[in-house]
Amino acid sequence: MEVNAPLRAVYNQWTQFEEFPRFMKGIEEVRQEGDKRLFWRARIGGKVKEWEAQITNQLPDVGIAWESLGGTIHSGIVTFESLDANRTKVVLTLEYQPEDLLEKAGDAIGIPSLQIEEDLKRFRDFIEERGRETGGWRGEIILGKTSHPQPATETATSESVRSMNKSGTREQKP
């Protein structure tokens, strides 16, 4: 999805995880419990679900990878790419495991994909209407270690995050 806002603003808004209920339908609460851990509460198919997720890799202005730690099983990667000074491309890849018959039926007809597309549109509208982010964490998480705020470097690219494998490490290219 393309967002009409600068890369840094889009990335900063995405890292305001506790704001997700403002634009993600079904998400009731996201609580950041440290640099790498998030608590989630969602209403899915009329049921309340809760889980924790761990950020496995985070590069400022480039991308974030995460995986659940029990509860609803899911993982994902979101990347950010500057198209020009005021436009950013956001790519979200999400994997999850439907748990019951209702979720499996919804998955079979594509409901989760439609919901994610709508959530991304609401995110886009949220940041475009505000004209700026609500804030942003500038730290970096690589291979499970946290570094504190520092400016993003030009050597960090969205390809770096896209090439992460499921363990959160970067795959090396020959």
| CATH code of the domain containing 109 | 3.30.530.20
Indicate whether 174 belongs to any domain. no
Domain count, the chain: 1
Residue in 96, 129, 131 with CA at minimum distance from that of residue 112:
96
| Residue 18 identity | E
Supply the pLDDT for residue 13.
94
**Residue 91 in contact with residue 100, Cβ under 8 Å?**
no
Indicate whether 155 belongs to any domain. no
Indicate whether 97 belongs to any domain. yes
Supply the pLDDT for residue 139.
53
Indicate whether 161 belongs to any domain. no
CA angle at residue 155 from 154 to 158, to 5 degrees?
90
Indicate whether 99 belongs to any domain. yes
Indicate whether 108 belongs to any domain. yes
Residue in 44, 14, 42, 46 with CA at minimum distance from that of residue 30:
42
CA distance 28 to 39: 11
List of the chain residues with pLDDT < 50: 137-138, 144, 146-158, 165-174
Query: What is the crossing angle of helices 7-14 and 111-130, to 10°?
Result: 120
Supply the pLDDT for residue 95.
85
Supply the pLDDT for residue 133.
77
- List of residues 6+ apart from 84 with CB closer than 8 A: none
Domain span including residue 88: 2-150
Supply the pLDDT for residue 155.
36
Indicate whether 61 belongs to any domain. yes
- Total residue count of the chain as it appears in this document: 174
CA-CA-CA-CA dihedral for 124, 113, 26, 16, to nearest 10: -40
Indicate whether 168 belongs to any domain. no
Supply the pLDDT for residue 160.
52
